[in-house]
C-alpha cells in the first residue's frame, strides 16, 4: 500500500492524473488515478421497460450500504449526464454492483441505460449517498419493518430487505409493492425466493391499472387498502412498525399521510422526474442552496444569479459580468437555469452566474 502510494507520487512528477486515466483507457483498462469508472458486465431485462445492469467498478469505489444510492454518469451525445440510482445488489457481493433502471422516454439517461448501455460500456460513479440504511436507522431485532414501494421505488428496498433478513432472520418485514400492471413487477424470482426462505417476510403485489392473475386491481394507495393489508386495530405508538416509503412524489406524499398514525417512524425518499421548463415571464422566487457554505437564499427569476447572490452578500468570484470570461461559472448540482444571452435552459452543468437566472430551486457548488 505504502509502495503504491510512493509509486504514485513519483509518477505524478511526469504524468498528470488525466494523462494516467487516458492511457489506462487506451490500453483497455478502467483503472484511474482517483476517479471511479465502472464497466457494464451484464444487462438483464428485469420487467417491462426496466433493465438491471451489473457493473464492475475500479479500485477507487468507496463501497456502500444497503439502501444507499449513487450518482452515475454516462456520456450521451457528447454530454456527460449524471443521475442517481439505488443499489439493488448486496454490499457483501464483492466487486460487483447492480442498478435497476426504468425507462422514461423523456429521460435521456434512463433511456440510454435501458437501450444503449451494453456489456463493455464504461460509466462513472460520482459518490455514494443516502441515510436510509440499517446503520443509520439502527432498528431493534424485534422491530417490524413495513416498506411501501411504487414503481422504481422498489429499488433501494431490495438491498435493504436482504440486509435486514440476513442480520435478523426472524425480524418481521412486510413489503407492499405497487405497479401499474403485472408486467412491470421487478425482482419476481428473488422476492418469491425470500418469501419461501423467510416465513416472516410478507409480500403484497398490488396493481393500479390492470389486474394481476386471479386478483382485482387494487388501485392507488388508500386507507382501506392499508386496513386490509396491515390490519385496522389501533396499536400503541412504541409497538408500531418502522415505515419506509419510496416512489414518485405523489405516492410518497399520500403514503406518508396514511402511515402517519400507523408507524413509529417514517423514512421516505421521493424520485420525481423533472417538470417541463416554464418560460421566465412571470416573476417567481426560488430558493438557492449553496452547498459549501450551507446557506439557503431566496432569489427572483427576474435578476441574474450573480446579482442576486452579491446583493445578499455572497462573495462570488466574477469577471466580465457578460458571460464571456467564465470566471463566475459554477457547477449546478440540482435545478434548472436559463442563459439570458441565448434563452437556453440548462440543468446539471456549469452555469455562468452573471448571465443566468433561476428557473427552479437550485443547488450551487459554492
Partner 1 sequence: MTSSTSRALAPDELQQFGDELDALKKRALDDVGEADARYIKRILKTVRYTEFLGRALLFVGVFPPAWILGTLLLGLSKILENMELGHNVMHGQYDWMNEPELNGKTYEWDIVGTADMWRKTHNYEHHTYTNIKGMDNDIGYGLLRLFPEQRWRPFFLLQPLWAALLAVLFQWGVAIQDLELGKVASGRKSKAELKKQWQPLAKKIRFQLLKDYVFFPLLAGPFFFTVLSGNLVANLMRNLWTFMIIFCGHFTAKAEVFPKTVVENETQGHWYLRQLRGSSNLKGGKIFHILSGNLSHQIEHHLFPTVPARRYGELSREVKAICEKYGQHYNVGSLSSQFGQVLYRILRHSLPSQPKPFAAMTTA
- Binding residues for partner 1 (CB under 8 A): 13-14, 16, 18-19, 21-23, 26, 35, 73, 75, 77-82, 319-320, 322-327, 329, 341-344, 346, 348-350, 352
Task: Give the CA radius of gyration of the chain.
Answer: 23
Q: Which residues touch 324 (CB under 8 Å, ≥6 apart)? A: none
Q: Which residues touch 131 (CB under 8 Å, ≥6 apart)? A: none
* Cβ at position 219, least distance to partner 1 in Å: 41
What CA–CA distance (Å, rounded) separates 248 from 352? Answer: 31
* Cβ at position 80, least distance to partner 1 in Å: 4
Q: Which is nearer to partner 1, 37 or 244 (CB)?
A: 37
* Cβ at position 77, least distance to partner 1 in Å: 5
Nearest to 204 by CA among 241, 174, 224: 174
* Cβ at position 205, least distance to partner 1 in Å: 39
Q: What is the DSSP string of 123-157?
A: EEEEEEE-S-SHHHH---TT--EEEEEEGGGHHHH
Q: Which is nearer to partner 1, 70 or 132 (CB)?
A: 70
Q: Which is nearer to partner 1, 76 or 203 (CB)?
A: 76
155, 174 contact by CB (below 8 A):
no
* Cβ at position 311, least distance to partner 1 in Å: 21
Residue 341 DSSP class: T
* Cβ at position 14, least distance to partner 1 in Å: 5
Length of the chain: 366
52, 65 contact by CB (below 8 A):
no
Amino acid at each position: 500500500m505504502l509502495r503504491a502510494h510512493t509509486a504514485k507520487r513519483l509518477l505524478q512528477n511526469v504524468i498528470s492524473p488525466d494523462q494516467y486515466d487516458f492511457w489506462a483507457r487506451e490500453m483497455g483498462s478502467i483503472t484511474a488515478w482517483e476517479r471511479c469508472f465502472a464497466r457494464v458486465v451484464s444487462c438483464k431485462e428485469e420487467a417491462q421497460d426496466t433493465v438491471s445492469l451489473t457493473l464492475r467498478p475500479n479500485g477507487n469505489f468507496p463501497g456502500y450500504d444497503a439502501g444507499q444510492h449513487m450518482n452515475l454518469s454516462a456520456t450521451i451525445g457528447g454530454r456527460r449526464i449524471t443521475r442517481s440510482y439505488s443499489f439493488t445488489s448486496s454490499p457483501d457481493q464483492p466487486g460487483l454492483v447492480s442498478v435497476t433502471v426504468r425507462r422514461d422516454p423523456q429521460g435521456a439517461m434512463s433511456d440510454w441505460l435501458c437501450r444503449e448501455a451494453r456489456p463493455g460500456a464504461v460509466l462513472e460513479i460520482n459518490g455514494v449517498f443516502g441515510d436510509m440504511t440499517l446503520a443509520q436507522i439502527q432498528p431493534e431485532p424485534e422491530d417490524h419493518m413495513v416498506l411501501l414501494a411504487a414503481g422504481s421505488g422498489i429499488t433501494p428496498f431490495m438491498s435493504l430487505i436482504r440486509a435486514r433478513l440476513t442480520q435478523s432472520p426472524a425480524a418481521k418485514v412486510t413489503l407492499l409493492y405497487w405497479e401499474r400492471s403485472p408486467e412491470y413487477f421487478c425482482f419476481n424470482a428473488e422476492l418469491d425466493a425470500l418469501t419461501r426462505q423467510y416465513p416472516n417476510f410478507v409480500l403484497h403485489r398490488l396493481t393500479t391499472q390492470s389486474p394481476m392473475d386471479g386478483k382485482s386491481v387494487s388501485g392507488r394507495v388508500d386507507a382501506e387498502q392499508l386496513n386490509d393489508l396491515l390490519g385496522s386495530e389501533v396499536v400503541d405508538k412504541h409497538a408500531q412498525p418502522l415505515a419506509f416509503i419510496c416512489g414518485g412524489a405523489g405516492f410518497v406524499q399520500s403514503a406518508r399521510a396514511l402511515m402517519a398514525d400507523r408507524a413509529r417512524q417514517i423514512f421516505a425518499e421521493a424520485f420525481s422526474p423533472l417538470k417541463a421548463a416554464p418560460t421566465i415571464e412571470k416573476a417567481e422566487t426560488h430558493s438557492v442552496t449553496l452547498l459549501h457554505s450551507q446557506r439557503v437564499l431566496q432569489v427572483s427569476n427576474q435578476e441574474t444569479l450573480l446579482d442576486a447572490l452579491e446583493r445578499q452578500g455572497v462573495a462570488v468570484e466574477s469577471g466580465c459580468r457578460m458571460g464571456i470570461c467564465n470566471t463566475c461559472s459554477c457547477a449546478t448540482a440540482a435545478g434548472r437555469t436559463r442563459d439570458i444571452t441565448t434563452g437556453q435552459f440548462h440543468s446539471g452543468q456549469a452555469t455562468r452566474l452573471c448571465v443566468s437566472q433561476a428557473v427552479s430551486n437550485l443547488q450551487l457548488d459554492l
